[in-house]
Amino acid sequence: MVRSGIGYDIHRLVEGRKLVLGGVAIPHPRGLDGHSDADVLTHAIADALLGAAGDRDIGHHFPNSDESIKGIDSQEILRRVQAILTGKSFAIVNIDSSLIAEEPKIGPHISAMRERLSQTLNIPPDRIGIKATTNEGLGFIGRGEGIAAMAIATVEKLEPRFPADAPRIA
């Protein structure tokens, strides 16, 4: 069985924070505000994976009221999400995502983001799509006040494997 899920995240840009997207620190005078490192790309991917597995969102699994995870690296969130998928016998087939930001320029960092997410999820980088666009100067994002991300993930339910000599029910 193949299933898909979607994810979305948005955070405000603020002074005094490091900008992390797709697990990669990107040079920029402002970073994203949030309980964790506020990595919108990783959060959108995590939500897409959870949705594909029929599970609840990252806000349920990693609530901003939980002080024990304040400042958590979002790659750790993604590792824990993958553990949830593994526990439900799902394997990641493909991820596609889009970052929406007026600045900084995302293109020069896409390869590093794909590699980092690939390492975290233990899947080949060619199964991870990352695109970037602007909001054409419109709204919150267009004014350079924040960054958003969307993602879709496809997962496959793994069939239980039986030993070669185990009796099978027809």
The single-letter code of the amino acid at 37 is: D
CA 40/CA 32 separation, integer angstroms? 8
pLDDT band at 122 (very low <50, low <70, confident <90, very high): very high
2-157 falls under which CATH superfamily? Answer: 2-C-methyl-D-erythritol 2,4-cyclodiphosphate synthase (3.30.1330.50)
Domain parsing of the chain, residue ranges: 2-157
Give the integer Cα–Cα distance in Å for 138 and 140.
7
pTM of structure: 0.92
**What would the two tokens of residue 17 be?**
């924070």
Confidence of residue 170 (pLDDT cuts 50, 70, 90): low
Residues 13-35 have pLDDT tens digits of 999 999 999 999 999 999 999 99
Cβ-Cβ contacts under 8 Å for 169 (sequence gap 6 or more): none
Q: What is the pLDDT of residue 71?
A: 87
User: What gap in Å lies between CA 21 and CA 142, rounded to an integer?
Assistant: 18
